[in-house]
A and B are shown apart, each in its own frame.
Chain A
């Protein structure tokens, strides 16, 4: 009985001492922090995607409160979060349009030729540095998944040697945009439905030699979408580009493209 009592006393004593130490530490070692940092961190989605340019949500929240960043940079959060942040900081909210990543290439393994059998690290930058990559088109998607590997939401898949974005999962953080060695991923408004899936600006004959669905710059899309005045398309060399300030909506444009590089809602949708 006595032994039990001693044990209880010792343990209780140690507990009391430890509690005292913690209480003192809490009082004297506490870090003073602007309470708004905590609020802003809580308001952010917590994806830690880095799309805002900071190391994570907490880092962005700190920068917001310290005044080195402005609300509106959080793509995953969208308008709701930005409004919330503006409220916390006491500034006016600005509306932003939701943006998603678009891989501007339609050259799957069954549509675009490969000029070699790549054997090495499964990474786009590494493949691109090996004899310029194994894809015939030097502007096209290599399909080694650098974008898919950095995507915090697993919204990118490689299908038949081509990266495809799931529009519903994409939070528009832009990590894939910066990692792509071919620079062919772009953030586009989620509401746009017609896209040009090509990134090759060289002359038509050069394109058709390497890809079955490459843009040859024939301007037929522009013509079908109301001509130059309608301003739905812009051109870079022999490459058509959707003007996302004024995107076309006519689904027939996709059917009418002779090269089948214009697609309606090109984003990959997850089934079920």
Chain B
């Protein structure tokens, strides 16, 4: 085990104001259970889970209520014991309406929970561990929510050489990963051992941005006596350092080809929070039913890192943090660079809600776009030049002096290209059917 400085700097990037000090010093705090949870069937990337419960059903804590429904999909569990009040479409953080289980939380939570039996990772088989990751509904907790079991099952012709732990947390304001590294470094270590076993012993690289020295120290301590090829790689502070493909370059200097997944260059990247969740799922049998969310911004009375069950409505979350201040103009689910604006606080947290930010008019810029002056800042900041490979990191719009909606335009272009491709495919299929 050693700590090294990243020697490879990718081109571009920007330096937003980090403002992490608002919540960085606040230890993770568990939140008292709200009266009602809204557990979405789409908490991950890919197909929504198939709902297994109906109105009136009583569910136990940890009970499977949504079943993985497709290759890219994940299980959903009841975060607490309670009764299903309704199953109906609710708005998620991205603005889409998907089926959600409205769960009335039981007053008495002392009943038996429906956790899975604990496994000893040392004696359990690779397949059992992989099945556990699947059963526990683990998905990437960094933001995109890619189902972890898919990442951990590389195609037979690919071998994972590097397991990269993403602890960069390059989004401003967010400190949930930082607090996890600080307080749960031992769980991260356990998760690493399990993942190493599943992936047949790859080398491990833990990527942390240089502005988190105490997290690095905590990890160094927890990993001090670990065997094998494990390194902590200290990354320069630069946005978007947490982007999967850029992190691979910064840690092991490999370039993921356009349109390919990291496994194409023998890498698997996983967020540190996810790794800790894997450890809990295996060693304690607890499915992914809660997560740490940073509630911050200048519009919240007391910024905190809150551990809350998934499905907690934003209103309950912010009430636990002393409530909103006067004059909040913007609420962001996620970080300020890639997060989503939400229109109200009825929206629930999901497995991917890393942050909930409240900005008053002092922090909100309302703008109108001016003419492009060809300054080239977007090109210098840009990570990708082909729109379909755009990771929507927002670095281009961030520095645009004309306040042009570059990222939003990329997003729109991607959507229309995908729609056109789907239409063409449907047309071709129809033509084939005719023949």
A132-B344 in contact (CB<8A): no
Cβ < 8 Å to A, chain B residues 395-430: 405, 408-409, 411-412, 415-416
Least CB separation from B419: chain A residue:
A125
What is the total number of residues of chain B having a CB less than 8 Å from a CB of chain A? 19
Separation of A115 and B408 alpha carbons in the complex (Å): 20
How far is A132 from B93 in the complex, measured between Cα atoms in Å? 9
Provided the pairs A116-B343, A119-B366 are in contact, do residues A131 and B409 lie with their beta carbons within 8 angstroms? Answer: no
Q: Are B405 and A130 in contact (CB under 8 A)?
A: no
Chain B proximity mask over A25-61: 1 for CB below 8 Å, otherwise 0 = 0000000000000000000000000000000000000
Quick check: is B259 within 8 A (CB to CB) of the other chain? no
Kindly supply a per-residue 1/0 record for chain B positions 77-121, scoring 1 wherever the CB is within 8 Å of any chain A CB and 0 otherwise.
000000000000001001111000000000000000000000000
- Considering only residues 133-163 of chain A, those with a C-beta below 8 Å from chain B are 133-134, 138
Report if B341 contacts A (CB, 8 A): yes
B412 interface neighbour in A119, A123, A131, Cβ under 8 Å: A123
A134-B343 contact in complex given A121-B408, A125-B415, C-beta closer than 8 Å: yes
Chain B residues with CB under 8 A of A120? 405, 408
Residue of A with least CB distance to B369: A121
- Say yes or no for A126: interface residue by CB 8 A criterion: yes
Tally of A-B residue pairs with Cβ under 8 A? 45
Closest to B342 in A: A131
Question: A125 CA to B94 CA in the complex, in Å?
Answer: 14
Is A129 an interface residue when CB atoms closer than 8 A count as contact? Answer: yes
Give chain B interface residues in 343-391, CB to chain A under 8 Å: 343-344, 366-367
> Which residue from chain A places its CB closest to the CB of B411 in the assembled complex?
A129
Closest-by-CB residue of A relative to B329 is A117
CB distance from B260 to the nearest CB of A (A): 26
28 contacts between A and B (CB under 8 A): A116-B343, A117-B366, A119-B366, A119-B367, A120-B408, A121-B408, A121-B409, A123-B412, A125-B412, A125-B415, A125-B416, A126-B405, A126-B408, A126-B411, A128-B95, A129-B95, A129-B411, A129-B412, A129-B415, A130-B341, A131-B342, A131-B343, A132-B91, A132-B95, A132-B96, A132-B97, A138-B91, A138-B97
Given A120-B408, A121-B405, do A131 and B416 touch, yes or no (CB 8 Å)?
no
* Residue numbers in B under 8 Å from A138 (CB-CB): 91, 97
Residues in chain B within 8 A of chain A (CB atoms): 91, 94-97, 340-344, 366-367, 405, 408-409, 411-412, 415-416
Once the chains bind, are A130 and B416 in contact (CB under 8 Å)? no
Instruction: Determine whether the beta carbon of A131 is less than 8 Å from that of B408.
Output: no
What is the CA–CA distance of A128 and B408 in the complex, to the nearest angstrom? 12
List the B side residues contacting A121 at CB < 8 Å. Answer: 405, 408-409, 412
**Docked complex Cα distance between A172 and B95 (Å):** 32
Residues from chain A with a CB closer than 8 A to the CB of B405 are: 120-121, 126
Task: Report the Cα distance A123→B409, complex, angstroms.
Answer: 10
Please, which residues of chain A bring their CB within 8 A of the CB of B94?
Answer: 131-132
Chain A residue nearest in CB terms to B341: A131
Q: Which interface residue of B95, B367, B411 has the most chain A CB atoms within 10 A?
A: B95
Set of chain A residues within 8 Å of B367, measured between Cβ atoms: 119
Within the complex, the shortest CB–CB distance from A12 to chain B, in Å, comes to 50
Complex-state Cα separation, A27 to B117, whole angstroms? 87
B-contacting residues, A97-136, CB 8 Å: 115-117, 119-121, 123, 125-126, 128-134
CA distance A138 to B98 in the complex (A): 13
- Establish whether residues B415 and A131, one from each chain, have CB atoms under 8 Å apart when the complex forms: no
Tell me how far the C-beta of A117 lies from the nearest C-beta in chain B, rounded to whole angstroms: 8
Given contacts A123-B412, A126-B408, 4 further A-B contacts (CB under 8 A): A129-B412, A130-B95, A131-B341, A132-B94
> A126: which B residues are within 8 A, CB to CB?
405, 408, 411-412
A131 touches B95 (CB 8 A): yes
Q: How far is the CA of A132 from the CA of B412 in the complex (A)?
A: 14
Contact A132 B411 (CB under 8 A): no
State whether B344 touches A115 (Cβ < 8 A). yes
In the complex, chain B residues whose CB is within 8 Å of the CB of A131: 94-95, 340-343
Residues of A with C-beta under 8 A to B411: 126, 129
Q: Specify which chain A residues have a CB less than 8 angstroms from the CB of B408 in the assembled complex.
A: 120-121, 126, 130
